[in-house]
Structure 1
Amino acid sequence: MENLIPVINKLQDVFNTVGSETVQLPQIVVIGSQSSGKSSVLESLVGRDFLPRGTGIVTRRPLVLQLLHLGRDDVESRTQDGTFIKADEFGKFLHTKNKVYTDFDEIRQEIINETERMSGTNKGICSDPINLKVYSGKVVNLTLVDLPGITKLPVGDQPADIEVQIRDLCMKYISNPNSVILAVTSANTDFATSESVKLAREVDPEGRRTLAVITKLDLMDAGTDAMDVLCGRVIPVKLGIIGVVNRSQADINNKKDLQEALKDEAIYLQKKYPSIANRNGTSYLAKTLNRLLMHHIRDCLPELKTRVNVLIAQFQSLLASFGEPVEDKGHLLLQIITKFASAYCNTIEGTAKNIETAELCGGARICYIFHETFGRTLESVDPLGGLSTRDILTAIRNATGPRPALFVPEISFELLVKRQIRRLEEPSLRCVELVHEEMQRMIQHCGTQQEMLRFPKLHERIIDVVTNLLRRRLPPTNAMVENLVAIELAYVNTKHPDFSEAHFVHRSVYDTSESSNHPTRALTKDMVAKHTEEKDKPEQPVMKLSTREQRDCEVIERLIKSYFLIVRKNTQDSIPKAIMHFLVNHVKDNLQSELVSQLYKKEEVTLLEESDHIAARRKEAQEMLQALQRSSQIIGEIREIHLW
């Protein structure tokens, strides 16, 4: 199981190269207030001075510290120029590649330089981590993340929201459920008000992954001790509370050796806390952290393996959606044009692969426009709408001239019925407009295929070509619709087979009128209804009708209604056919040839230039997929014996 920590270190290296936080790896996160002794704890674990020191915020970027234990024979390391050196302690930074640091003062300076490079010199912080590996025979295998010290107020030229920035950064790391929280608190402060413990409690209320460290035990007031705190009687912490003794500032200034400091720490603990000395101190802390991290990795590993496999599948799918980089642009252009034209035609025919389920579209929508929208609109047109008895009588009188007519003049019927037929033109043209709008909307619906989204310029040109084709077909379609109405107006066919009842209407009206003994007009049900409607209209000058005039008006009304219904039926059938022929079918049959003639040219190959966004996302996806596959391989190398 000792090999688990190096495995996690390898995974961390893999994901650090792509800068991804997609996979949350097990690690120990160190948090604490400023001057709580975090740096001293870390240096004690390493056994060397290597961290920057000073006043205010010194740690301004997360430091991912990987400690790797070296055996007696494992002391070789390759330098930047490819040669080998002998060293029992050395460090490597991720950002300096294979450069080896055998001088820990150089490591400290490199941390300072890299911090200022990303964070500036104004004491601001940066969330990008610095990755450092320390190889030594004096360390145990550990992975720790050192975070900036928690502060309350900005000092000097620190940002005004420095407290919020640091808190958010700490929360980002300790919120990872796979992390072990190392909450550092100084013994000369009240443990109950510890900021680090308070933060840990927010993300780990049960304390299952929190370990508390009490530093500076030797600086407590005379006559006091930390026995209650160390024994968990003040605030219990499930993973335990470990006390350590730091080097004083004077020791640091005098460059007191850390090994000597560890001996002094052991002596102090035996003297001050003899009953619990074996459960405290830096050495015990290192072994405890090593054990906790190994067990934590063991518990997280199955879920981590599953997570990596799921992400591999997701990124493979994402990468496939971006497509391969373009090699043969001409072939790809023709392929995209053909695919779009096929998708457009299939949407009209209702044979598309991805049929819309949320709303009607394509051919189904056109069918709905023909038979529901247009059909209902025509049926709602009243054959006698807009005609009053005065209009009819005036037309009859004007058609007779100076001489009274013996019979109803046909010219009055023709004049009035044409007036009614013209009312069918507007809804017919509106039907053309609705179908045109739907075919325009289909362009966007079919233009969502991934190949087109890769090439925004091509997408835009295809939309332009199809839009222009539809626009060109609109005038001839409208002209045909207008002609169909004009044809009906050109010749009123009173010999139409369905209009044979005209003479029966004429005869029945006259027979009814002559058989009536009442001097006034014999009202039919239709006339009663019309009379009722007219009562609701604004009053007009009273027109007294003779019996003959009442009879003639009724004949004209009956004939207009009968003939109008015939024309309306013809219109309801012929308009959709005209629209299908002149607009829908013409576009469907000529779409691909139009696209090829307009776009399949040498100068148009530039349309296949990929957007920077797609190219960047493909590169990111490729790098992430490679990292995940490498991670899966690393995890797969672990044998069952390592887990138990």
Structure 2
Amino acid sequence: MEKLIPVINKLQDVFNTVGREAIHLPQIAVVGTQSTGKSSVLESIVGRDFLPRGTGIVTRRPLVLQLLHVPENDARPGLWGWAKFLHKGERVYEDFDEIRNEIASETESVAGSNKGISSEPIRLTIYSSHVLNLTLIDLPGITRVPVGDQPDDIEEQLREMILLYITNPNCIILAVHAANTDLATSESLKLAKEVDPSGDRSVVVCTKLDLMDAGTDAHDILTGRVIPVKLGIIGVVNRSQQDILDNKGIEDALLDEQTFFRRNYPSIALRNGTQFLTKTLNKLLMTHIRNCLPTLRQDISKKLSIYESQIVELGEPVDNKGPALLQSLTRFACNYTEKIDGTSRDIETHQLSGGARICYIFHHTFTEALKAIEPLEGLNRSDILHAISNAMGPRPALFVSEIAFELLVKKQIRLLLPPSLQCVELVYEELQRIIQYSLSFVRDFQRFPILRDKVNQVVMSLLRERQPIANQMIESLISIELAYINTNHPDFVGGTRAAYESYMVMAQPKPIPYQSLKQGDEKTEEKNPSSSSTGGGAGGGGSGGGGWRFWSGRSQEGGGGGGGGGGGVEGSRSSEKKHDGGLNAFTGPSDPSTANDMQGKQLFDCGLIEKLITSYFLIVRKSIQDSVPKAVMHCLVNDVRDRLQSKLITELYKKESFDLLMEESPETIARREEVQEMVFALQKASEILNEIRDIQYESSIIGTI
């Protein structure tokens, strides 16, 4: 078991060489407020003065302290022990005053000389036959008020630095608290409870027991009656500042500490003191390491697999750049084509993309946009009647003019152009997105940023070249439809059928207000008193025909009656007197669209034109709905897909450009070196963990013997 801690120390040294700790290793972090005695506790555990001292904040960088027990047979004669700094390589320090000076010098080199702080740790290993195997991290003390060069948010920075270490689930928290202050206000205990609410990895050290007020003691605190701590509260007595000035040795201080506990706390004296604290921490760390070993092996194996895959992604440095360039261009072209065709191995599941997105644009977005355009959108009866009247010229016409129909239907056909051009734009944007997807999918472009930019430029230029051609083709399709209005189309509702349907609509009865009908009957009786008695039942179409009038294309010409009685004849004659200007004379107001004065023939002609426009517009819309996607595929999508690889090779595969295009980014080079170092460290860590298996195997053999 004692050999477990040196193994973990080796793992720490391995990961320190790569500048960061990739695995959460078991360790002990010393946490406390400023001037609670953290450094004094560490010196008592080591048994030597080696830490800088002074007023205010002295520990300004984390100190990772590894204590390695050396058997007396292997110890250097005449030496208590020796030390090494990681940043000094193999240099050995035998004088502990030199160690103190080196810690102060290294702190100032990074954190400055005016109370500044840094999270970059100093790593020190002490070898001695007088220490137990331990790994401790002395963290800067918690402070609230900035001094010197410290930033205004010094408290928050220190808190984040401490949390960086103690949030490690494999870290044992050594919370240092001064006994002459209230334990309930302890900042170190508060931080420990934040990250370790169950208390499975927190130990409290109570210092300055000899400085408590007269008549008080810490018995309730040390026995856990005030605040219970699962792993215990251990009291220690450090040297005072006067003892340090008097050069009182740590050995003498330890003896005085034992005397203090036997005199003041006899019932718990054996469970307190620096020696008990050291042994407790040693056992806790070994037990913690043993419990963490399975997780450590899993973490190292998982990390090694991840970094090895990153090595594959980053690739090896390229020596033969020509074939590598050709291969990258071919991969891009193939991936671009596969994304359009839907044969890509990397299929997205959260959204439509590539060819599927283009299909959605054609058959949903574009189709819905066309359906949203009504055949008579933007037209009202005023427009239609004006067009009919203007097409007649000075002469009235018996039939609706074809010129008016063509004029109006072409106006409606032009409404199909904007959504058709928008369809081209949407497909163009999707093709742009496919470029970015393919550039990110092909790993080579992450290594070679210049090549990535050049490929993007070439493909974008090809798209920009083809987009105007596609737009021109769409405009030509609309122009073709406008060039010839084919009224002989099999699906077109011809003039006879349209006229019949319009006539049937016109023949629908329309109610006339009762008051108007009554007034009309009175006027008729005044002009022809006999009609009310002789023609009332003739045809039902006279002035007294039951409250309804029937309108048709000839209603203004033939009078109000449809029957054969005398009333119908008189009604016809009366109608002829009203329209003595002729059958085709325009007797309405100057604006033919005035609804109240609109004649039956005008309503009939307007309905006929609406029928014809609707019928022909639906034919053209269906044709455009079918032909636009074909034109876009032919002029834009298929052309870009088929010409892409040859265009890339023609523009980029040039010998004089090989070195420039295949130049790796500095970030890629640095990342590859970092990943290679991490892979080496993880492989070394895996080998070190195998030593633990050998240790456990030897221990089991010894136990059997």
TMscore range, shorter length: 0.7 to 0.9
Match for residue 480 of structure 1?
473
* TM-score w.r.t. length of structure 1: 0.85
Structure 1 residue 612 corresponds to structure 2 residue 666: yes
SS in 2 for 1:441: helix
How do 1:79-158 and structure 2 match up within 5 A?
89-154=81-146
Change (3 A) 1:385 1:149: closer
Inter-CA distance 573–110: structure 2 relative to 1 (3 Å threshold): same
CA displacement 1:41-76 (0-9 Å, x = unmatched): 222222222111222222211111111111123236
CA distance in structure 1 between the aligned counterparts of 2:551 and 2:141, rounded to whole angstroms: 111
Aligned partner of 1:593: which letter?
Answer: S
Change (3 A) 1:506 1:213: closer
Which stretch of the first structure deviates more once superposed, 468-477 or 310-319?
310-319
Q: Deviations 1:94-124 (Å, cap 9, x if unpaired)?
A: 1101111111111111011001111111112
Equivalence for 1:18: 18
Which amino acid is the alignment partner of residue 610 of structure 1?
Answer: E
2:174 aligned with 1:182: yes
**Per the alignment, in what secondary structure is the counterpart of residue 55 of structure 1?**
coil
Q: Which residue type is aligned with residue 613 of structure 1?
A: E
Q: What is the SS of the residue equivalent to 2:68?
A: strand
Cα distance, 1:235 vs. partner? 3.9
Question: 2:410 aligned with 1:418, yes or no?
Answer: yes
Tell me which residue corresponds to 1:457. 450
1:247-326 correspondence to structure 2 within 5 Å = 247-326=239-318
Conserved in 2, the CA contact under 8 Å of 1:244 and 1:281? yes
SS of corresponding position for 2:59: coil
Tell me the secondary structure at the aligned position of residue 692 of structure 2. coil
Q: Distance in 1 between matches of 2:622 and 2:184?
A: 89
Deviation at 1:581, TM superposition (A): 1.3
Q: Deviations over 1:461-499 (max 9, x none)?
A: 222222221221122222222222222332333444445
In the aligned structure 2, how far is the partner of 1:509 from the partner of 1:187? 105
Q: Which structure 2 residues correspond to residues 218-237 of structure 1 after superposition, within 5 A?
A: 218-219=210-211, 225-237=217-229
Q: Which moved more, 1:468-477 or 1:110-119?
A: 468-477
Residue 309 of structure 1: how far off its partner (Å): 2.0
Q: Which amino acid aligns with 1:118?
A: V
Q: Hey, what does 2:653 align to over in structure 1?
A: 600
Q: Give the residue type in structure 1 aligned to 2:627.
A: S
Match for residue 30 of structure 1?
Answer: 30
Whole-angstrom distance in 1 between the partners of 2:222 and 2:114 = 38
- Any residues of structure 2 matched to 1:392-411 within 5 Å, and which? 392=384, 395-396=387-388, 398-399=390-391, 401=393, 408-411=400-403
- The separation in 2 between residues aligned to 1:456 and 1:395, in whole angstroms, is 63
Aligned to 2:519: none
What is aligned with 2:4?
Answer: 4
Structure 2 CA distance for aligned equivalents of residues 152 and 560 of structure 1: 83
State whether residues 493 and 612 of structure 2, in contact with CA within 8 Å, keep that contact through their aligned partners in structure 1. no
Pick aligned residue for 1:588 from 603, 626, 641: 641
Alignment CA distance shift 1:642-1:201 (3 Å): farther
Following TM superposition, by how much is the alpha carbon of 1:456 offset from its aligned partner in structure 2, in angstroms? 3.1
1:19–1:643: structure 2 CA closer, same or farther, 3 Å change rule? farther
Q: 1:625 to 1:407 in 2, by over 3 A?
A: same
Q: Distance in 2 between matches of 1:507 and 1:284?
A: 112
1:635 aligns with 2:627: no
Distance 2:145 2:616 in 1: 91
Q: TM-score, normalised by structure 2?
A: 0.78
Following superposition, the deviation at residue 421 of structure 1 comes to 3.2
On the 8 A contact 1:70/1:136 being kept in 2, the answer is: yes
Stretch deviating more after TM superposition (267-276 or 363-372): 267-276
**Aligned counterpart, 2:530:** none
Q: Which amino acid aligns with 2:233?
A: I
2:572 aligned with 1:579, yes or no? no
| Distance in 2 (alpha carbons) for counterparts of 1:393 and 1:621 | 80
Distance 1:503-1:224 versus aligned 2 partners, 3 A rule: closer
Question: What is the number of residues matched between the two proteins?
Answer: 621
CA separation in 2, counterparts of 1:178 and 1:353?
41
Give the distance between the partners of 2:230 and 2:671, measured in 1 at CA: 44
Aligned identity (percent) is 58
Aligned 8 A contact 2:340 2:354 in 1? yes
| Aligned residue type for 1:425 | L
Deviates further, 540-549 or 97-106: 540-549
Unaligned 5+ segments in structure 2 are 508-538, 542-549, 556-590, 701-705
SS at match of 2:650: helix
Report SS of the residue matched to 1:18. Answer: coil
Matches within 5 A, 1:549-588: 555-588=608-641
Corresponding residue for 1:529? none
Contact 1:512/1:522, CA 8 A, preserved across alignment: no
Residues 1:621 and 2:675 are matched in the alignment = yes
Runs (5+) with no aligned partner, structure 1 = 77-84, 524-537
2:75 and 2:275 mapped to 1: Cα distance?
23
Structure of greater Rg = 2
Write the distance in 2 (CA, Å) between the matches of 1:222 and 1:427: 92
Distance 1:521 1:619, change over 3 A: same
Residue 609 of structure 1 aligns to a residue in which SS?
Answer: coil
Give the root-mean-square deviation of aligned CA atoms. 3.5
* Residue identity in the other structure for 2:466: R
